[in-house]
């Protein structure tokens, strides 16, 4: 079994720690976090793991085989470079980095060091998103092109996430999952238009619309806000439109198949011509478990992860184009 290190013990670090130990049966060899509260909380839960105050000490003294980098996004670039220099395989949380130049530098360093580098684009391992991707790939369901409309509004995660130079705000941090899924499903983005604003006193754009057209004419409109005050929320909804109908997330009770078990299954329904409803079901899975298992298998069997630097770079580049258009139009 590889010696596993966890760099960053916040929300995602602790979640991956749980998946790796409780679901996949691994032990954590060493962890690091700069903040004493995070280290103390972790020590209480996982006695026996080596705990360091920073990743440099960990890499030098514990010499792990693999590291999960679950630090704030502005640290992905320098820490991934340090891991590559130490010859440590990297599972890098999303977004790969805030700037495409940083993504390229990580890619170059990983290739030079011959380490495995995987991007934590968890939707790629999720039965939910995988089923949607299959539906969207089949022109027979909605037709082609499709128009995906997504609205989300809440107070967001705050803190470093809302600093343009530390986390970049929702159009890179939250929407990067959409960016990766859309590029994976629809191909290259040929047009990116955006109008962004700051509702809250943050340096990152917290609210706005990004309209993206992909190479086969498919398009998405991301209407997002992380600019609401704590405790407030706006609309959270989405659908996908095509010449043959509209896809909705979930299946109303009246249209569920007889053997449908809502505990273990979920699905989509499409309302077509004359109100005809068709349903698409799937069995729920744990995308983080699949993601972490895939990376460990790649390390143990010397295979390339199915999602890596190229995909991380493409998603960050798309976010940069959204920011560039907002700058260009002054909105």
Contacts of 55 (CB under 8 A, 6+ apart): 7, 32, 67, 71, 79, 82, 83
Identity of the residue, 244 or 284, whose beta carbon is nearer to ligand NAD in the bound complex: 284
From the list 67-75, 144-152, 178-186, 272-280, the region that binds ligand NAD by CB under 6 A is 67-75
CA distance 268 to 249: 5
Identity of the residue, 33 or 107, whose beta carbon is nearer to ligand NAD in the bound complex: 33
Closest-CA residue to 161 (of 103, 94, 100, 69):
94
Closest separation in Å from C-beta 160 to ligand NAD: 6
305 lies in the binding site for ligand NAD (CB under 6 A)? no
212 lies in the binding site for ligand NAD (CB under 6 A)? no
The single residue among 22, 27, 35, 40 that binds ligand NAD, judged by CB under 6 A, is 35
On whether the CB atoms of residues 175 and 210 are closer than 8 A, the answer is yes
Residue 96 has which token pair?
A: 């790969």
The single residue among 4, 5, 13, 162 that binds ligand NAD, judged by CB under 6 A, is 13
Closest separation in Å from C-beta 121 to ligand NAD: 8
List the Cα angle 320/324/330 in 5-degree steps: 145
Helix/strand/coil for 40: helix
List the Cα angle 94/210/234 in 5-degree steps: 85
The single residue among 31, 67, 81, 122 that binds ligand NAD, judged by CB under 6 A, is 122
The single residue among 6, 30, 38, 240 that binds ligand NAD, judged by CB under 6 A, is 38
On whether the CB atoms of residues 177 and 123 are closer than 8 A, the answer is yes
Strand order in the sheet with 277-283: 189-197, 207-214, 219-225, 147-153, 237-242, 245-249, 265-272, 277-283
The single residue among 21, 43, 50, 72 that binds ligand NAD, judged by CB under 6 A, is 72
312 lies in the binding site for ligand NAD (CB under 6 A)? no
11 lies in the binding site for ligand NAD (CB under 6 A)? yes
Neighbours of 27 (CB within 10 A): 12
Closest separation in Å from C-beta 137 to ligand NAD: 23
94 lies in the binding site for ligand NAD (CB under 6 A)? yes
168 lies in the binding site for ligand NAD (CB under 6 A)? no
Identity of the residue, 4 or 247, whose beta carbon is nearer to ligand NAD in the bound complex: 4
102 lies in the binding site for ligand NAD (CB under 6 A)? no
Residues in contact with ligand NAD by CB under 6 A are 8-13, 33-35, 38, 70-73, 93-94, 120, 122, 160, 173
């Amino acid at each position: 079994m590889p010696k596993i290190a966890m760099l960053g013990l916040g929300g995602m670090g602790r979640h991956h720690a749980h998946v790796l130990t409780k679901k996949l049966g691994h032990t954590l060899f060493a962890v690091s976090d700069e903040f004493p509260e995070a280290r103390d909380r972790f020590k209480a839960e996982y006695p026996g793991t080596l705990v360091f105050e920073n990743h440099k000490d960990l890499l030098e003294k514990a010499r792990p085989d693999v590291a999960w980098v679950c630090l704030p996004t502005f640290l992905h670039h320098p820490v991934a470079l340090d891991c590559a220099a130490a010859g440590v395989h990297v599972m890098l949380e999303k977004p790969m980095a805030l700037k495409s130049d940083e993504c390229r530098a990580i890619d170059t360093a990983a290739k030079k060091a011959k380490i495995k580098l995987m991007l934590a684009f968890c939707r790629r391992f999720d039965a939910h998103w995988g089923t949607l991707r299959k539906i969207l790939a089949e022109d027979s369901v909605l037709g082609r092109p499709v128009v995906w409309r997504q609205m989300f509004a809440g107070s967001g995660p705050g803190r470093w996430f809302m600093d343009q130079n530390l986390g970049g705000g929702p159009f890179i941090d939250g929407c990067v999952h959409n960016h990766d899924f859309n590029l994976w499903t629809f191909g290259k983005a040929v047009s990116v238009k955006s109008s962004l604003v700051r509702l809250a006193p943050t340096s990152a754009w917290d609210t706005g619309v990004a309209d993206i057209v992909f190479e086969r004419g498919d398009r998405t409109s991301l209407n997002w806000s992380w600019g609401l005050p704590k405790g407030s929320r706006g609309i959270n909804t989405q659908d996908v439109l095509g010449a043959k109908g509209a896809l909705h997330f979930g299946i109303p009770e009246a249209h569920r198949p007889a053997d449908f078990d809502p505990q273990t299954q979920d699905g989509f329904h499409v309302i077509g011509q004359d109100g005809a409803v068709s349903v698409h079901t799937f069995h729920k899975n744990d995308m983080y478990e699949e993601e972490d298992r895939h990376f460990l298998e790649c390390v143990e069997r010397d295979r390339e992860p199915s999602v890596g630097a190229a995909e991380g770079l493409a998603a960050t580049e798309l976010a940069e184009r959204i920011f560039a258009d907002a700058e260009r139009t002054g909105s």
